[in-house]
A = this chain, B = another copy of it.
Amino acid sequence: MRLGHDRDQQLFAASVRALLGRECMPEHARAGFSPKRWEALAGIGVPGLLVPGQYGGLGLGAGELAAVAEEAGRACAPEPVIEAAVAAALLTHAADGKDTGRAADWLRALADGGATAAVALCPAAPVAHAVHADFVLVARDDALYGMPAAAARIVPVGGVDPGRALGRIDTVVRAPGAALLLATGQGAALAEAARLGAIAAAADLLGSARAMLDLTVQYAGRREQFGRSIGTYQAVKHKLADVLTAIEFARPTVLRAAHSYDHALPSAARDAAMAKVFASDAADLAARACLQVHGAIGYTEECDLSLWLRRVWALSSAWGDAAHHRAAVADDLLGPDPAPACPPR
């Protein structure tokens, strides 16, 4: 029994943290996706984290990804770290060990930083990082399709977090045949990839929540009202204490989910769901509490807090929100919900 990032994961996370500490200050994060920063991240292996060594990647797992995604959240990096990992998992299955073919080519391009990916597991919803993606993976039933961005008719869509660079992939929605079929019979691989996305998003949310908390503790220590810093008031202290508690108890669930994913344990689906429940709830709590403690200034674009607020408002619902995953755990624990979901549309 050992629950904690291992030393390699800690070292890897530290190098990502150092890189983003230099290259992704709030003023950089504000400017959105940076090809230069992506290249730097590729230099230390981030986009190829889950790409097998055979294709030039590091062949690591969800444990490393969680450590890295937490740093991406902490720095509010607007790069598609989660999407690269999910694409790597999907393409690895589709390539099925072969050295040639489109899936293998894209795996190599991912690993060397030459291409960024967007992933549309749920075709009707807007797709994150589609606007600057080089290729797009699309799931339809149990098949995986892919297409170069140039062929995909990607329409930028406004969103609460400009750093997500949302796009709607019209081609796919209207004519899935226009995309290249990469593999069929991918049902299990698609479900696994969705879990990986949820775990990575959960880790990102922990980093984002902690960054908001740190900003807010600093602000509360600086801001004076009624002759003392607002951080001395119990109403402020207790709110932020609850945020810390939520973050700290969410983290081990994310580590466990990553471990279950990497070892393909029978509880992997439930563990991923649980991690996203705790991380989304912690980040939502952090967003509301930190905005409240900042007061009006938190409500302005010029305040750095707004970068993370936007990120959390989007990411806490992406890859399944807390209610979605809570219901999944309930189904697993208590038997299926007698109230079926609405029919798929």
Contact = CB atoms under 8 A, between A and B. Distances in A.
- Interface SS of chain A: loop
A241 to B, nearest CB: 10
A338 interface: yes
A224 interface: no
Interface residues of A, number: 8
A227 interface: no
Contacts of A340: 338
A3 interface: no
**What is the copy number of this chain in the assembly?**
2
Nearest to A233: B234
A337 interface: yes
A339 interface: yes
Contact of A234 (B234, B338, B339): B234
Contact of A235 (B235, B338, B339): B235
Interface in A308-339: 337-339
Most chain B CB within a 10 A radius of its CB, from A233, A234, A340: A234
A238 interface: yes
A130 B337 CA distance: 38
Most chain B CB within a 10 A radius of its CB, from A238, A338, A340: A338
Interface string A238-251: 10000000000000
Contacts of A233: 234
A233 B238 CA distance: 12
Contacts of A339: 337-339
9 contacts: A233-B234, A234-B234, A234-B235, A235-B235, A235-B238, A337-B339, A338-B339, A338-B340, A339-B339
Given A233-B234, A338-B339, A338-B340, 6 more contacts: A234-B234, A234-B235, A235-B235, A235-B238, A337-B339, A339-B339
